[in-house]
Amino acid sequence: MPTFLSCFPSKQSQITEEDALIRSSTKSDECIFCNVSKGVGFNVIYEDEELIAFHDRTPRAKIHLLIIPRHHIASSVRELRKQHIPLLNSMINLAITLIPNSSIPKMGFHIPPFSSVPHLHLHVFSGKHTFIGKFKYPISGSNDHKGYGWFVTPNQVLNTLHQGKTVGTGRG
Ligand SMILES: [Zn+2]
Ligand SMILES: [Zn+2]
């Protein structure tokens, strides 16, 4: 099994916008998150036409889920545009449903190159982070937390997209 749950920096292949568009419209046999299912060992807890949620194999908090779009809509948060706002909202709402004890769970996206799986995925946490978790997924109680270049909250992404901008490293 590849070590797909480590989201530390990995070699990033620079892809052009055009490549991204072509990629996003195809299902890749090579993309592990395009092939998520219970049958191949994922602990899937929710799925519908649009989204799949499953437990991260290396939990960095008491509960550590990943929510992904079923289709390869984007490789990462960097490729999101204004038209993806409804998708983001669906991901946020699902996170809230799956973590019922907190009104808004801690959650966020890695910004490449700080992301190991090139298929958009939202990390969702409940309970205290582990020591490594605090470093890899730096979010405070507030989902509006800013100041880190490698991890953004969905609200930060929404604000950026609403302004017609795109997410990049070093920008909240
Ligand atoms: Zn994929
Ligand atoms: Zn990640």
Query: What separation in Å is there between the alpha carbon of 4 and the centre of ligand 2?
Result: 9
Q: How many Å apart are CA 136 and CA 159, to the nearest integer?
A: 22
> Could you say which of 3.30.428.10, 2.60.40.10, 1.10.1740.10, 3.40.50.300 is the CATH number of the domain covering 23-162?
3.30.428.10
Task: For ligand 1, an ion, list residues with CB under 5 A.
Answer: 31, 33-34, 72, 119
Q: How many Å apart are CA 167 and CA 165, to the nearest integer?
A: 7
Indicate which ligand has the atom closest to the C-alpha of 137. Answer: 2
Please say whether the beta carbons of 118 and 75 come within 8 A: yes
Q: How many Å apart are CA 156 and CA 153, to the nearest integer?
A: 5
Please say whether the beta carbons of 30 and 75 come within 8 A: no
Q: Where are the beta strands (DSSP E) in 13-101?
A: 44-47, 51-55, 61-69
How much is the pLDDT for 116? 75
Provide the Cα torsion 161, 166, 170, 171; round to 10°: -30
Which residue has tokens 């916008």? 17
- Angle in degrees, CA 68, 155, 59, rounded to 5: 45
Q: Which amino acid is at 3?
A: T
Query: What separation in Å is there between the alpha carbon of 5 and the centre of ligand 2?
Result: 7
Query: What separation in Å is there between the alpha carbon of 11 and the centre of ligand 2?
Result: 14
Interval 112-141: pLDDT, tens: 877 778 999 999 998 777 777 776 776 644
List the chain domain ranges. Answer: 23-162
| Annotated catalytic residue 121 | yes
**Which one, of 77, 20, 87, lies nearest residue 50 by Cα?**
87
| 71 φ, ψ (degrees, to nearest 5) | -95, 155
Name the active-site residue from 64, 121, 123, 129: 121
Interval 75-84: pLDDT, tens: 999 999 999 9
Tell me if the pTM is above 0.85.
no
Indicate which ligand has the atom closest to the C-alpha of 79. Answer: 1
Q: Which amino acid is at 115?
A: S
Give the pLDDT of the chain (172 residues) as one tens digit per residue: 344 444 444 444 444 454 554 455 456 678 999 999 999 999 999 999 999 999 999 898 889 999 999 999 999 999 999 999 999 999 999 999 998 776 678 899 988 877 778 999 999 998 777 777 776 776 644 444 444 567 888 998 999 999 999 987 544 3
Task: For ligand 2, an ion, list residues with CB under 5 A.
Answer: 7, 110, 115
